[in-house]
Amino acid sequence: MSGSLVQQAHALTDTYTPDRGDPAYVVTHYDLDLDYKVSTNRLTGRAVLDVTVLEDVRRLVVDLVGLRVLKVAVGGVPAKWVHRGPRVFVTPRAPLPRGQRTQVAITYAGTPGPVRTLWGDVGWEELTEGSLVAAQPNGASTWFPCNDHPRHKATYRLAFESDSPYDVVATGTLVETRVRGSRTRRVFEQHAPMATYLATVHVGHYVRRTLPPTDVPITVLLPVVHERPVMHDLARLPEMTRLFGSLFGPYPFDDYTVVVTADDLEIPLEAHALATFGPNWLDGRRRHERLVAHELAHQWFGNSLTPATWADIWLNEGFACYAEWLWAAHADDVPVRTSAQGHWALLARLPQDLVLGDPGPDLMFDDRVYKRGALTLHALRLQVGDGVFFEVLRDWTATHRHGSVTTDEFVDLVEAHVRLASGTAGGAAAAGRARDLLEQWLWGTDLPRLEPVTTAS
Q: Can you give the CATH number for the domain in which 293 is found?
A: 3.30.2010.30
Give a yes or no: residue 280 inside a domain.
yes
pLDDT of 149-163, one tens digit each?
998 899 999 999 999
CA–CA distance, 419 with 428 (Å, rounded to integer): 6
Whether residues 274 and 387 share a domain: the answer is no
**Amino acid, single-letter form, for residue 224:** V
**Amino acid, single-letter form, for residue 416:** A
CA–CA distance, 143 with 69 (Å, rounded to integer): 12
pLDDT of 338-391, one tens digit each?
999 999 999 999 999 999 999 999 999 999 999 999 999 999 999 999 999 999
Whether residues 261 and 399 share a domain: the answer is no
442 close to 375: Cβ distance less than 8 angstroms: no
CA–CA distance, 79 with 105 (Å, rounded to integer): 10
Give a yes or no: residue 455 inside a domain.
no
Report the pLDDT value the prediction gives residue 2, as an integer from 0 to 100: 41
Q: How many domains does the chain have?
A: 3
Whether residues 196 and 236 share a domain: the answer is no
Whether residues 63 and 176 share a domain: the answer is yes
Annotate 351-417 with DSSP letters as a single string.
-S---TTS--GGGTT-HHHHHHHHHHHHHHHHHH-HHHHHHHHHHHHHHTTTSEE-HHHHHHHHHHH
Residue 17 above 90 pLDDT? yes
Q: How many Cβ atoms from other residues are within 10 Å of residue 122's Cβ?
A: 21
Whether residues 317 and 371 share a domain: the answer is yes
Residue 78 above 80 pLDDT? yes
pLDDT of 170-181, one tens digit each?
999 999 999 999
Whether residues 155 and 217 share a domain: the answer is no
Q: Which of 275, 299, 323 is the last residue of a domain?
A: 299
Instruction: State what percent of residues in the chain have pLDDT above 70.
Output: 96
Which residue(s) pair with 24 in the sheet? Answer: none
Whether residues 3 and 125 share a domain: the answer is yes
Give a yes or no: residue 457 inside a domain.
no
Q: Whose CA is closest to 319, among 384, 418, 405, 387?
A: 405
Give a yes or no: residue 284 inside a domain.
yes
Give a yes or no: residue 375 inside a domain.
yes
Annotate 152-187 with DSSP letters as a single string.
-EEEEEEEEEEETTSEEEESSEEEEEEEETTEEEEE
Report the pLDDT value the prediction gives residue 182, as an integer from 0 to 100: 95
pLDDT of 395-450, one tens digit each?
999 999 999 999 999 999 999 999 998 887 778 899 999 999 999 999 999 999 99
Residue 4 above 60 pLDDT? no
Question: Across the chain, what does the average pLDDT equal?
Answer: 94
CA–CA distance, 57 with 368 (Å, rounded to integer): 41
**Amino acid, single-letter form, for residue 125:** E
Distances (CA, A) of 96 to 24, 28, 282: 10, 17, 51
67 close to 108: Cβ distance less than 8 angstroms: yes
Residue 419 C-beta-side C-alpha neighbours within 13 Å: 10
Q: Which of 178, 201, 224 is the last residue of a domain?
A: 201
Q: Whose CA is closest to 296, among 256, 325, 259, 267?
A: 256
CA–CA distance, 151 with 54 (Å, rounded to integer): 15
Query: What CATH number does residue 399 fall under?
Result: 1.10.390.10
Whether residues 321 and 430 share a domain: the answer is yes
Report the pLDDT value the prediction gives residue 20, as an integer from 0 to 100: 94
Give a yes or no: residue 453 inside a domain.
no
Annotate 69-128 with DSSP letters as a single string.
EEEEEETTEE-EEEEETTEEEEE-SS-B-TT-EEEEEEEEEE---EEEETTEEEEEEEET
**Amino acid, single-letter form, for residue 91:** T
Q: How many Cβ atoms from other residues are within 10 Å of residue 213's Cβ?
A: 9
Report the pLDDT value the prediction gives residue 422, as an integer from 0 to 100: 83
For range 219-246, the mean pLDDT: 97
CA dihedral over 214, 277, 130, 142, signed as positive or negative: positive
Residue 457 above 50 pLDDT? no
431 close to 392: Cβ distance less than 8 angstroms: no
12 band by pLDDT with thresholds 50, 70 and 90: low
DSSP letter (8 states) at residue 146? B
24 close to 161: Cβ distance less than 8 angstroms: no
279 close to 261: Cβ distance less than 8 angstroms: yes
Report the pLDDT value the prediction gives residue 11, as an integer from 0 to 100: 45
Range of the domain at 339: 306-443
CA–CA distance, 369 with 366 (Å, rounded to integer): 6
Give a yes or no: residue 335 inside a domain.
yes
Helix (H, G, I), strand (E, B) or coil at 53: strand
Helix (H, G, I), strand (E, B) or coil at 432: helix
| Confidence (pTM) | 0.94
142 close to 125: Cβ distance less than 8 angstroms: no
Report the pLDDT value the prediction gives residue 453, as an integer from 0 to 100: 56
Query: What CATH number does residue 89 fall under?
Result: 2.60.40.1730
Whether residues 149 and 272 share a domain: the answer is no
Instruction: State what percent of residues in the chain have pLDDT above 90.
Output: 91
Interior CA angle at 84 toward 46 and 124, to 5°?
50
Whether residues 270 and 331 share a domain: the answer is no
Q: Which of 233, 268, 299 is the last residue of a domain?
A: 299
DSSP letter (8 states) at residue 213? P
Give a yes or no: residue 452 inside a domain.
no
Report the pLDDT value the prediction gives residue 7, as an integer from 0 to 100: 41
Whether residues 187 and 76 share a domain: the answer is yes
Whether residues 281 and 226 share a domain: the answer is yes
**Amino acid, single-letter form, for residue 424:** T
CA–CA distance, 111 with 131 (Å, rounded to integer): 12
262 band by pLDDT with thresholds 50, 70 and 90: very high
For the chain, the residue count is 457
Estimate to the nearest angstrom the gap between the alpha carbon of 372 and the chain centroid.
Answer: 20
